Structure 1
């Protein structure tokens, strides 16, 4: 995925090609302003106000308690970028965006947009981080309500990649027991268990995260097939020959190299012969030579973000596979996710 300005007309293409306009401004000013417009519209419920059909700006403002003039301007900005349609004097939610912007949609990202307000504040630390290189470990600063917003946001974020992972992962055909390390809301486990009816899953999660995570998981109606267990993967024993598959999704970017190596070794002991260790995460470039590869671009950006907000950053394919080999596992070919550009599923098998 390439971020930034993209030409829609021949003249715009020429302007970009000939470097006639300031692309850095297109990549920043318009992008951050429109991002805040989308986030504010979602939090105010403007998209929800259009769930049942078209309405005027005044009707939308009255239903949401917003200022009519400001509401009209926001609606026009959303209209200009394809989020809305305008027919017979009324705004309508574009059919393509109903999938993502309505809270009751199974594919909603409304909670993730809400959590991005917190992430926005975190990114204000980029300037200082650039000078001192000190990670802020922002997760430790979250209050109870912010933790709740974070977990709901991560559930929304997982919807598409969890479904794809469930179809493209290759656990053993006889797999019965899955360990999901740091799985929080549990949707990756849910989708894997739905795909493999004989499988049950245990989600190992920090105790303070479980109340909200359990609430989110309960919506899926999986009963005893997917359950939480309080613990800390970096400190707890994971057992020996206990699981057919172990999943770590969107977590290794929080750990340093030594922690990830020790965790891979514990996972290897916990796997039964023939079991599979699955790591899913955004992937960073291994060297500057990879910077222009389409499947690496977003991972390079997220590497900066996680280096600021956590204690590490994203990892290269080679780094993850080296931990797996050092733990006695045999890495498989990476699976690049189509629904989460820049992310890959990196699996390794414990030899029989």
Structure 2
């Protein structure tokens, strides 16, 4: 999967094939203009204003408390981008916006769009990173308000592949206790507990994350079957033979190799015999050629925004093997290309 220039007629396709179109302009100016247009439309409430049906631009502006003529420019841009359609003076949601950008949609990415406005500021540091090699210290510098945006954004993102996660997760037969490390919003644990009635989960995350994520988890109505535990996985006691399943999702890219090896050993000690350790993350490809566009771009993004960056499945499996676990074949998600699970099992006693 990739993003890029798409011809809209045969003449454009011929020019594209001949290398006569200035694709760097489309890859840069048009790409960031499109991205910002969709994110701002989400933040200002344009899509919510149209949720109940078609409206004129003046009525959208009144609903969003925005300038009428400027709002019309934004609406027209969203029509061109395929997120709205227009019939005379009235605008309405295109299917893609109704499915992905309304707050109440089951597949809503609304909160991820708001989080991406934070990420927009982060990627401005690419040049500094390349010059100095120093990544951002995101978790140490964001405000309480930003922690809330971050947690809601990650919950929104989780919704895009949680069904596949619950379907493919190798939950041991008869599993009762799950530890979800760095799980903040707890949505993976919620989905798994709904699929496995005997399973209960503890979500361990930083106090700042738990404070903001607690209301998100409460909305799921899981009671004491999925609970938060504020702490730090790098220093907290994980127990001994206390868990049947340990999940670490989208976290190991924040830790260096030595930290991940030590963590794997502590997870192995915390697992019961026959227990399963799942690392769920973006996979670093073996080479740029294998990465593809999305894999290579995400590898750079995580290098800038975390202390380590992404890891390959071979490296993850090596951590697990060194901890006396038995690595399994990686599971690659269809709904989130470039991501998946590296699974290992603790041998039975």
Could you tell me how far 1:4 is from its partner in structure 2?
A: 2.2
Q: Would the aligned equivalents of 1:286 and 1:318 in 2 still touch at CA under 8 Å?
A: no
1:23 equivalent in structure 2: 23
TM-score of the two chains, using structure 2 as the length reference: 0.96
CA contact (8 A) 1:84 1:91 kept: yes
Q: Is the 8 A contact 2:144 2:208 kept in 1?
A: no
Tell me the SS of whatever aligns to 2:46.
Answer: coil
Matched, 1:348 2:344: yes
Alignment-derived partner of residue 208 in structure 1 = 208
Trace 1:145-294 onto structure 2 (pairs within 5 A). Answer: 145-292=145-292
Residues 257-285 of structure 1, C-alpha deviations (whole Å, 9 max, x = no match): 11111111111111111111111111111
Other-structure match for 2:114: 114
Aligned-pair CA distance for 1:6: 2.8
Extract structure 1 runs of 4+ deviating beyond 6 A.
Answer: none
Query: SS of the counterpart of 1:193?
Result: helix
Gaps of 5+ in 2: none
Moved more, 333-342 or 35-44: 333-342
Farther off after superposition, 206-215 or 180-189: 206-215
Q: Residue 99 of structure 2 contacts residue 105 of structure 2 at CA under 8 Å; is this kept in 1?
A: yes
When the two structures are superposed, what TM-score results if normalisation uses the length of structure 1?
0.96
2:86 is the counterpart of 1:86: yes
Whole-angstrom distance in 1 between the partners of 2:119 and 2:329: 33
Pair 83,289 (structure 1): closer, same or farther in 2 beyond 3 Å:
closer
1:299: Cα distance to partner? 2.8
Q: Which whole-Å CA distance do the structure 2 matches of 1:130 and 1:330 have between them? A: 37
Residue pair 1:139, 1:309 contacting (<8 A) in 2 also: no
Give SS of 2:296's match.
Answer: helix
- Structure-1 separation of matches of 2:101 and 2:57: 18
Q: Cα RMSD between the aligned structures?
A: 1.3
Q: Which runs of 5+ in 1 are unaligned?
A: none
* Superposition pairs of residues 59-78 of structure 1, within 5 angstroms: 59-78=59-78
- 8 Å CA contact retained: 1:302, 1:313: no
Q: Deviations over 1:122-157 (max 9, x none)?
A: 111111111111112122110111111111111101
Asked if the contact 2:288/2:296 (under 8 Å) is kept, the reply is no
Aligned pair in 2 of structure 1 residues 63, 194: CA closer, same or farther (>3 Å)?
same
